[in-house]
Amino acid sequence: MTEVPTGDANRDSAPPPPAFIQRYPGAPPEPNPALQQAPGSPYAQTAPYPAPPYAQTAPPYAQTAPYPPPPYAQTAQYPGGPMQDPYPQPYAAAPDSRPKTLATVALATALAGVVAVFVPIISVVAGLILLAAIVLGIVALASRRQGGKGFGVAAIVVAVVGGMTAWILSTVVFGLFGLADAWRDDAVVPSPLPSSETYVPPVDAEPTDGSDGMRGTIDSPYGYGELVPIWNAATGDPVWEISVGTPVDLTGELAAEDLFNPTPETGVYSAVPVTLTYIGDGTIDPWRDYEWVVETSWVTLGGAPLEEEYLLLPDGYLSALDLATMGPGQTVTFHSVVDAPLDAVGGVRTAIGFDYELYWAAPQ
């Protein structure tokens, strides 16, 4: 008879349950809960298997330090002021807080100098104004306490350009006046005597016409065109022969000569020709020999003086300012101009030296 094994025998011969189980292929081993929960089981006292690595390792994000706060979050904020960027951009330069007074003054001075160049009355000081602007501009550029370097450079440039403009204008203007005077002198004025000639001025000049006051007065004038000799009363030496011609109307010639000649207020420019012939010895200068300088003025029919006009005369006409040194026998004619009609001119007064006077007029 065959024996059937009993349950105990089967239990004794059965293999012990595994200490660890794997719930699914590839899963980490886990302690067998059946062994741990069975009372009296030797496996219940066995130390559990070390926890798998993932159970002992904290997640990476839990152990990693948080990102540092942005720079602007760490920047202190001034009381009442906005948050400032601690890392300014390289192209955001701080504004120049230095004063620009000196550079501004230099530029204003340079502009004033340029304006002065074109103003006839103050053009003579334009160069000094422009020089001052250049100096101020250089000081503004060299000073570390002054800003506005652009203004300083502009002041120097404007002053230099203005100075060059002034020099060019003055050269052209004076050149034109000199050329006009040269043409006029070559055409009419007697040639100066050679430098070897010795200048012999008259001595103890006392002009006289020899009439002893009987002629040449305002009540008894010489007639236009009459030739009158003048002597040195102290020595008896002859000096001048003077003739005053009839006044002529030069209004049209003066208007055509130059645009700078103003229009006559009375509508007519009257001119009187005065002819001088030197009849003495040596030479005479109509401007340096004060005792013999011949000056003319005009009077009305009532004897009131008329003011002489100083204008640019047409070619072929001289003013008293154009007279040059004269030698024996040389003759020159100059014109004196007045703003008055011909019929309003009563006569011409000729002053010789300091106080000797002669009058010319048309017969009444």
pLDDT value, residue 299: 84
215 and 310 part of one domain: yes
331 and 265 part of one domain: yes
Q: What percent of the chain has pLDDT over 90?
A: 12
> pLDDT tens for residues 330-354?
999 999 899 988 888 888 888 888 7
131 and 239 part of one domain: no
265 and 343 part of one domain: yes
> pLDDT tens for residues 178-203?
665 555 555 444 444 444 445 455 45
Any domain includes 295: yes
**One-character DSSP codes across 51-102:** PPHHHHSPPHHHHSPPPPPPHHHHSPPPTTS----SS--TT-PPP--S--HH
Type of residue found at 104: T
Please state, as a whole number, how many other Cβ atoms lie within 10 Å of the Cβ of residue 50. 8
DSSP 282: S
Tokens of 181: 């005077």
Any domain includes 193: no
Any domain includes 212: yes
Type of residue found at 267: G
Helix orientation angle between 149-187 and 126-142, rounded to the nearest 10 degrees: 160
SS3 203: coil
Any domain includes 225: yes
- The residue whose two tokens read 């540092």 is 68
- Bridge partner list, 278: 240
298 and 160 part of one domain: no
Any domain includes 76: no
Any domain includes 60: no
The pTM of the full predicted model, rounded to 2 decimals, is 0.47
Show the domain range for 350: 207-361
247 and 302 part of one domain: yes
231 and 344 part of one domain: yes
168 and 218 part of one domain: no
Any domain includes 82: no
234 and 347 part of one domain: yes
SS3 48: coil
**Number of compact structural domains in the chain:** 2
Q: What percent of the chain has pLDDT over 70?
A: 69
357 and 280 part of one domain: yes
Tokens of 1: 């008879």
178 and 216 part of one domain: no
223 and 351 part of one domain: yes
CA 169 to chain centre: 14
